[in-house]
Chains A and B, each alone.
Chain A
Amino acid sequence: MQELLQYIFSGLTNGAIYAVIALGFSILYGATRLINFAHGEFVMLGALGLISLWQGLKIPLAIALVLAVLGVALIGFLFERLAIRTVSRPEPIVLIIITVGASIFLRGVGMLVWGKDAHSAPAFFSFAPIDVMGAKLLVQSIWILGVVVALTFALHAFFKKTLVGKAMTAASISKKAAWLTGIPYEWMILLAFVLSTATGAVAGVIITPITMCSYDMGTLLGLKGFCSAMLGGLGSLWGALAGGIVLGVLESLGAGFLSSGYKDAIAFGLLLAILYIRPSGIFGAKDLHRF
């Protein structure tokens, strides 16, 4: 019982992080019907950027957090401007190859800047872990979950209540109709990229105290985030949150009770199963169009 609870706690923490990454995929997919294969690399940039700013340059934590997220959002802005906007034939296969190229490129840059070694950061706040029926719950886990839920609420409010958010939704439904009503369509795509990469960076900064960070961490995290987004139904914010938590807990239980070496294979197996059986996700009601 104690063991089970412990696995669930660590699964919840990881799941919360997958959920934030999944939010990034969902924001971008919702607005542009595009899947960014480089999304995991923005998570890596956020994590390593924070470590450099906070530990390397000794900038106070609060400012370093904001700077790291803004910096990554700026890279997302440049990425859309330079590599996505310039494409003459925006077919899926072309965009897949470009975003895969961007992912490899950013990973290469990460390796040059931060080297091949893993980096880590101390906990943001130090509290003693809470004892729940013998299992240890880190305070860190609680605030990570809090951040994730708050972020999902904020994004939900943005898309449903604000004019810009509604305009983004409109642009994703029909490019032409949105343009006719005076919505600057291209700005909406740009905004979606910036928002998506910024949430990727948020995932990166909250992961720093709980795991070792290195230049190649992005691929796995990106895939797991995508798996979570698919589980919850791609494009849905609350689905992303639920999908992330489900994946995190399943993975942690699998690693604990079956084999830790195959931990990553669980996520991919789940991804394949979802793609084959129910591409609309567990929580998605509509049948998703598979292109």
Chain B
Amino acid sequence: MKAFTRNCSEKIMTQSSLHETLRIGLLAGAVAAAGILFDNAYHIQVLVFIGINTILTLGLNLLMGYTGQISLGHAAFYGIGAYTSAILTVHFQFSPWLALVPSLGLAVLVALIVGIPTLKLSGYYLAMGTLGFGMIVFIVFRELDFWTGGSSGLAGIPSLKIGPVDLTSGRNFYYLVWGAVLGTLVVSRRLIESRVGRALRSIHGSEHAAMAIGVNTQAYKLQVFVFSAFLAALAGFLYAHCIGFISPGSFDFMASVRMVTMVVIGGMASIWGALLGASLLTLLPEWLHAFAEYEMIVYGLILMLVMIFLPQGLLRGLLDIYERSRNA
């Protein structure tokens, strides 16, 4: 009997991971096809931003969606990744690739230092704690003007190169960013399917129950927090070298809210939802020209309406409604 159930579950597992491999393969194909089909620089640029936002959303989703720990200050890590690399390359003439290591490393270090006390909190207190942390980092970006250029920002960040090839030109950056997205997808997928992923979901279900069955909840929460900070810093690094200019405004409270909105739209605990949420919210301002005026109203309404009516996210919620109407 035991062997039978194990056999069954193994079969189900291999089937679902086969599905996933297929999906990721399909996405890789779509990415390659889009790279060949789109030759408009503007379209390529939009796709690059979708990719950067997808990395951000995937990271935050691991923390919020799977582990149930909210962060309202995640833009801080995005900013740390961007600013560290920008400062090292602009002021110290580091090569961008050499700056990648310290910029990711600093984000991981800060996440460790901040995460240990902060993740002991939960619910409203965790939200307030991360919000306060995000605000402090934002103030530091603004006030350290000798290094960061203050509110007017830091310009002249060099582009990424491999040998003589400038990666920022044309489609090269697009392939780089989407390569990183695919890598992040695969790693996230593996993480969720693993023992760690099950532990994270058990924390979401009930932290006390998880503790009672021997899950070291503090250690797991810290690991996923650090990993999501790592991904945010990676996105920040790509962003800084893609645009060549950064200012504190890109890493303020609203930036953190945007990230939360992308997770919420795509659906908590959904890897493919992260792709959907990032794409929708990157495209929305491009479609609506007067968007800047209404941006906050739209984001606010999305957050409230999705949470009230479709707490599983847009994708899952709409699918549920469809299935119910078909069964009825």
Chain A interface residues (CB < 8 Å from chain B):
34-35, 37, 83, 86-89, 92-94, 96-98, 100-109, 111-112, 219, 223, 226-227, 230, 259, 261-262, 264-265, 268-269, 271-272, 275-276, 279, 290-291
Q: How far apart sit A109 and B295, CA to CA, in the bound complex (Å)?
A: 10
Q: How far apart sit A276 and B126, CA to CA, in the bound complex (Å)?
A: 10
User: How many Å from the CB of B60 to the closest CB on chain A?
Assistant: 12
Q: Does B129 sit within 8 A of A, measured CB to CB? A: yes
Are A106 and B300 in touch, CB under 8 angstroms? Answer: yes
User: How many Å from the CB of B198 to the closest CB on chain A?
Assistant: 20
Q: SS class of chain A's interface: helix, strand, loop or mixed? A: helix
Q: Lowest 4 A-B CB distances belong to which pairs? A: A105-B300, A101-B303, A108-B296, A291-B123
Q: A92-B123, A291-B125 are in contact. Are A109 and B302 (CB under 8 A)?
A: no
Q: Does B136 sit within 8 A of A, measured CB to CB? A: yes
Q: How far apart sit A161 and B253, CA to CA, in the bound complex (Å)?
A: 41
Q: A100-B260, A108-B297 are in contact. Are A275 and B303 (CB under 8 A)?
A: no
**Which residues does chain B contribute within 8 Å of A275, judged by CB atoms?**
117-118, 121, 125, 128-129, 132
**Which residues does chain B contribute within 8 Å of A112, judged by CB atoms?**
293-294, 297
Centre residue among A230, A268, A271 by max chain B CB count within 10 A = A268
Are A83 and B122 in touch, CB under 8 angstroms? Answer: no
Are B70 and A96 in touch, CB under 8 angstroms? Answer: yes
| B73, closest chain A residue (CB) | A268
Contact of B124 among A92, A103, A107, A276 (CB under 8 A): A92
Are A272 and B133 in touch, CB under 8 angstroms? Answer: yes
B280-310 interface mask toward A, CB cutoff 8 Å, 1 = contact, 0 = none?
0000000000000111111111111001100
Q: A261-B143, A272-B132 are in contact. Are A96 and B127 (CB under 8 A)?
A: yes
Q: Does B257 sit within 8 A of A, measured CB to CB? A: yes
| B293, closest chain A residue (CB) | A112
Are A93 and B128 in touch, CB under 8 angstroms? Answer: no
Contact of A108 among B68, B131, B135, B300 (CB under 8 A): B300
Are A93 and B301 in touch, CB under 8 angstroms? Answer: no
Are B296 and A107 in touch, CB under 8 angstroms? Answer: yes
Are A262 and B139 in touch, CB under 8 angstroms? Answer: yes
**Which residues does chain B contribute within 8 Å of A34, judged by CB atoms?**
124
Q: Does B254 sit within 8 A of A, measured CB to CB? A: yes
Q: SS class of chain B's interface: helix, strand, loop or mixed? A: helix
Q: How far apart sit A223 and B129, CA to CA, in the bound complex (Å)?
A: 10
Contact of A104 among B127, B131, B299 (CB under 8 A): B299
| B204, closest chain A residue (CB) | A93
**Which residues does chain A contribute within 8 Å of B260, judged by CB atoms?**
97, 100
B183-217 interface mask toward A, CB cutoff 8 Å, 1 = contact, 0 = none?
00000000000000000000000000000000000
Are A103 and B133 in touch, CB under 8 angstroms? Answer: no
**Which residues does chain B contribute within 8 Å of A101, judged by CB atoms?**
299-304, 307
**Which residues does chain A contribute within 8 Å of B293, judged by CB atoms?**
111-112
A-B contact pairs, 8 of them (CB 8 A): A92-B123, A92-B124, A102-B300, A104-B297, A105-B300, A105-B301, A108-B297, A265-B139
**Which residues does chain A contribute within 8 Å of B120, judged by CB atoms?**
276, 290
B64-85 interface mask toward A, CB cutoff 8 Å, 1 = contact, 0 = none?
1000101010000000000000
Are B304 and A265 in touch, CB under 8 angstroms? Answer: no
Q: How far apart sit A87 and B178, CA to CA, in the bound complex (Å)?
A: 37
| A33, closest chain B residue (CB) | B124
Q: How far apart sit A223 and B124, CA to CA, in the bound complex (Å)?
A: 13
Are B303 and A94 in touch, CB under 8 angstroms? Answer: no
Q: A93-B70, A290-B121 are in contact. Are A100 and B301 (CB under 8 A)?
A: no
Beyond the given pairs A108-B297, A268-B139, A291-B122, 9 more chain A to chain B contacts, judged by CB atoms under 8 angstroms and listed by A's residue number, are: A92-B124, A96-B123, A96-B127, A103-B300, A105-B297, A108-B299, A268-B135, A275-B128, A276-B120
Q: How far apart sit A259 and B144, CA to CA, in the bound complex (Å)?
A: 12
Contact of A96 among B124, B253, B298 (CB under 8 A): B124
Residues 294-328 (chain B) with a chain A CB within 8 angstroms = 294-304, 307-308, 311
User: How many Å from the CB of A217 to the closest CB on chain B?
Assistant: 13
B137-156 interface mask toward A, CB cutoff 8 Å, 1 = contact, 0 = none?
00110110000000000000
Q: How far apart sit A115 and B303, CA to CA, in the bound complex (Å)?
A: 23
Q: How far apart sit A272 and B308, CA to CA, in the bound complex (Å)?
A: 30
**Which residues does chain A contribute within 8 Å of B118, judged by CB atoms?**
272, 275-276
B50-70 interface mask toward A, CB cutoff 8 Å, 1 = contact, 0 = none?
000000000000001000101
User: How many Å from the CB of A264 to the closest CB on chain B?
Assistant: 6
Q: A35-B124, A94-B311, A96-B127 are in contact. Are A108 and B264 (CB under 8 A)?
A: no
**Which residues does chain B contribute within 8 Å of A226, judged by CB atoms?**
128
Q: How far apart sit A23 and B131, CA to CA, in the bound complex (Å)?
A: 21
Are B139 and A264 in touch, CB under 8 angstroms? Answer: yes
B109-125 interface mask toward A, CB cutoff 8 Å, 1 = contact, 0 = none?
00000000110111111
| B133, closest chain A residue (CB) | A272
Are B307 and A98 in touch, CB under 8 angstroms? Answer: yes
